[in-house]
A and B are shown apart, each in its own frame.
Chain A
Amino acid sequence: EAQVTQNPRYLITVTGKKLTVTCSQNMNHEYMSWYRQDPGLGLRQIYYSMNVEVTDKGDVPEGYKVSRKEKRNFPLILESPSPNQTSLYFCASSLGLPSSYNSPLHFGNGTRLTVT
C-alpha cells in the first residue's frame, strides 16, 4: 500500500531533550516536506526536500533540522525542544513539485508532540 509513515504518533518530552520524528514513504517520491499544524494557523511548512541531499527552509524552520540521506526517508530533528514547539506535525511527499498538476501531496498520519 502506497503510504507515508510517521513515527511516533504521540510523543511527550521535556524541554531540551533531543528528539527525532521519522518519516518514510514507499512511493519513490522526489519531494518531501514537514508541516506543523496549530489551531487557527493551519499548516505551516518547516522544511522541504527536492531530492536526496537537497533540503530547504520553509516558513518556520527555526528550532528544527532535517536530513535527506535516502530518497524514502526524511526525519525531523529537534535538537533542543521548547514548549512553543508543541504541535501536530505532518510529513508529506509528492512525486514532483507539489504545485504540479499531477503531483498532489500525500500526508502521513501525524505526530502529536508535547514539550513540557
Chain B
Amino acid sequence: QQPVQSPQAVILREGEDAVINCSSSKALYSVHWYRQKHGEAPVFLMILLKGGEQKGHEKISASFNEKKQQSSLYLTASQLSYSGTYFCGTEDGFSGSARQLTFGSGTQLTVLP
C-alpha cells in the first residue's frame, strides 16, 4: 500500500521554508527520500531508519516518527534549485531486509524567485 504524501503541491518564494509529510498505515522500518527535477531521474536524498532518527543534507533535513508511522522532510531557506517532485519510499515491517520500496505519489515543490 502506497504511503500518503502531503501536500500534493506547494509553491513558495526563495528563502521560505516548507515541510513535506509522508505517512503510512503500516509499521515502518525505514523511510527514503528522493527528489526528481523536471525531466530528470529521481535522485536519492536520504534514508531514515527506525529509531526516530533525524538526518540532514545541507538545508534539507528529515525526521522519522515510527510511532506515528510518518516522516517529514524539512526544506529551510528554499533555493531555486530545490524545485522538483519529492518522493518518499517506505519499507514496511521490522527487519530492514525488504526487497522493495513502496513510493508515495509525490509532492511537487516550486520555488519562485
Chain A positions within 8 Å of B, measured between CB atoms, are: 4, 33, 35, 40-45, 48, 50, 56, 58-59, 90, 97-101, 104-110
Closest to B97 in A: A97
The listed residue (B42, B44, B98, B99) touching A43 by CB distance below 8 A is: B42
Contacts of B97 in A (CB 8 A): 97, 99
Whether the Cβ atoms of A42 and B101 lie closer than 8 Å is no
B6 at the A interface (CB under 8 A): no
Whether the Cβ atoms of B41 and A107 lie closer than 8 Å is yes
Closest to B43 in A: A107
Contacts of A105 in B (CB 8 A): 34, 42, 44, 101
B84 at the A interface (CB under 8 A): no
Whether the Cβ atoms of A100 and B103 lie closer than 8 Å is no
Contacts of B103 in A (CB 8 A): 35, 42-44
Whether the Cβ atoms of A104 and B105 lie closer than 8 Å is no
Whether the Cβ atoms of A109 and B41 lie closer than 8 Å is yes
Contacts of A33 in B (CB 8 A): 100
Whether the Cβ atoms of B42 and A99 lie closer than 8 Å is no
Contacts of A98 in B (CB 8 A): 32, 89, 98-101
Known A-B contacts A42-B103, A90-B42; the reply to A101 vs B98 at CB < 8 A is: no
The listed residue (A42, A90, A101, A108) touching B2 by CB distance below 8 A is: A42
Closest to B48 in A: A101
Q: Which chain B residues (30-53) contact chain A, with CB distance < 8 Å?
A: 30, 32, 34, 40-44, 47, 49
Q: Which chain B residues (55-113) contact chain A, with CB distance < 8 Å?
A: 87, 89, 91, 96-106
Whether the Cβ atoms of A97 and B49 lie closer than 8 Å is no
Whether the Cβ atoms of B44 and A104 lie closer than 8 Å is yes
Contacts of B106 in A (CB 8 A): 42
Docked Cα-Cα span, A2 to B110, in Å, equals 29
Contacts of A109 in B (CB 8 A): 40-41
The listed residue (B2, B96, B104) touching A99 by CB distance below 8 A is: B96
Docked Cα-Cα span, A105 to B103, in Å, equals 12
Docked Cα-Cα span, A85 to B103, in Å, equals 19
Known A-B contacts A99-B96, A104-B47; the reply to A110 vs B87 at CB < 8 A is: no
